[in-house]
Amino acid sequence: MTSLTSTKSKTYDMVYIALFAVLIAICSWISIPTVVPFTLQTFAIFLSLAVLGGKRGTCAVIVYVLLGAVGIPVFSGFKGGIGVLLNTTGGYIIGFIASALVVWAFEKIAGKKLPVLALSMVCGLIVCYILGTAWFMLLYAKNVGPVGLSTVLGWCVIPFIIPDLIKLALALLIGQRISKALPTGFLS
């Protein structure tokens, strides 16, 4: 009986991970047109972590990135392929995995309480910014020429801070509501 329960649980885990990987892809296609266009990709990543938890949420993010890496057009602008990851902004996509790992690490150390989750998501976002900015600077310098940190921050980070924090807060709020609506033991 334990084997059957374990198999059923693993099957549910795979379904939820796949479902949230698809949600991340769909949200990456939704673009809010402003001076600097924003997608809902970050929202979906943090929602995945809020609902699924660190381990399963990280798996969903990894599945999403792998789908894009093999050429499925899951990234913003309906793009896909390893070339997107090897482009100047590819470090931010890889940074999503680092963000998820940070949230998972916080969860393992401090538990699943809302303040811990909020802090871990902010720290994960910072790690994503650091990784993506370093990647951008490295590739930009290689392909175009040297560029200053303040310039790259002005292009790639500063315009996104407030929208990303809003998306993070919405993901926490909606994630908490979804988690409360789910049956007890849904993703324990």
* pLDDT band with cut points at 50, 70 and 90 for residue 185: low
The neighbour count for residue 133, using CB atoms within 10 Å, is 19
Question: String of b and e for 72-90 (b: at least 16 CB within 10 Å)?
Answer: ebbbbeeebeeebbebbbb
160 domain-assigned: yes
Q: Rounded to the nearest 5°, which phi and psi values hold at 79?
A: -105, 155
166 domain-assigned: yes
> Is the pLDDT at 37 greater than 80, yes or no?
no
Percent of the chain with pLDDT over 90: 84
DSSP state of 31: E
The pLDDT, as a whole number, for residue 179 is: 86
187 domain-assigned: no
Asked if residue 83 lies in contact with residue 73, where contact means CB atoms within 8 angstroms, the answer is: no
Total domains in the chain come to 1
State if pTM tops 0.95.
Answer: no
Question: Range with the lowest mean pLDDT among 4-8, 55-59, 123-127, 159-163?
Answer: 4-8
The pLDDT, as a whole number, for residue 188 is: 55
The secondary element (H helix, E strand) that includes residue 89 is none
Give the CATH number, domain containing residue 20.
Answer: 1.10.1760.20
* pLDDT band with cut points at 50, 70 and 90 for residue 38: confident
The pLDDT, as a whole number, for residue 155 is: 94
* pLDDT band with cut points at 50, 70 and 90 for residue 96: very high
**In terms of residue numbers, what domain contains 71?**
2-181
Q: What is the pLDDT of residues 111-125, one digit of tens each?
A: 999 999 999 999 999
186 domain-assigned: no
